[in-house]
């Protein structure tokens, strides 16, 4: 039985790993800086709901996803495992979060004054 030369076998093994995900970390396991450094991943950011103020906080990192994930162009709300509700500007949210379907897109930003603030 004829065997493949070692350098060719090594190259084929590396190619197999790179196309199947092999040893590379999965995107959803990465933090913000690791996600930004990974060519095959992209960060997901959104606005968490501050329940006490009834407003949305500033954009922040929520998770990481594969760069080739297809996200629709529509606002989406999802609940993090800790129970915090978030608003995303696309249909993608981090893995393990529950899509809620609520309409937080009409909620004011915390940086804006409340509508009743001038009514006093």
The pLDDT tens digits for 7-59 are 554 444 444 444 444 444 699 999 999 999 999 999 999 999 998 888 999 99
14: in domain: no
The pTM of this model reads: 0.69
45: in domain: yes
17: in domain: no
The number of domains in the chain is 1
Exposed/middle/buried for residue 104 (C-beta within 10 Å: 0-12, 13-18, 19+): buried
Cα–Cα distances in angstroms (integers) from residue 27 to residues 11, 35, 68, 74, 96, in the given order: 24, 7, 11, 22, 13
95: in domain: yes
Domain containing 63: what range? 28-115
- The predicted structure's pLDDT at residue 14: 44
């Amino acid at each position: 039985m004829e065997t493949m030369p070692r350098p060719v076998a090594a190259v084929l093994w590396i190619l197999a790993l790179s196309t199947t995900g092999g040893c590379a970390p999965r995107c959803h396991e990465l933090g913000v800086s690791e996600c930004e450094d990974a060519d095959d991943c992209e960060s997901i950011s959104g606005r968490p709901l501050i329940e006490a103020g009834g407003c949305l906080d500033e954009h922040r990192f929520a998770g990481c996803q594969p760069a080739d994930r297809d996200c629709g162009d529509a606002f989406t709300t999802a609940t993090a495992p800790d129970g915090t509700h978030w608003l995303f500007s696309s249909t993608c949210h981090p893995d393990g979060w529950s899509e809620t379907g609520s309409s937080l897109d009409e909620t004011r930003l915390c940086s804006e004054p409340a509508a009743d603030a001038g009514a006093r």
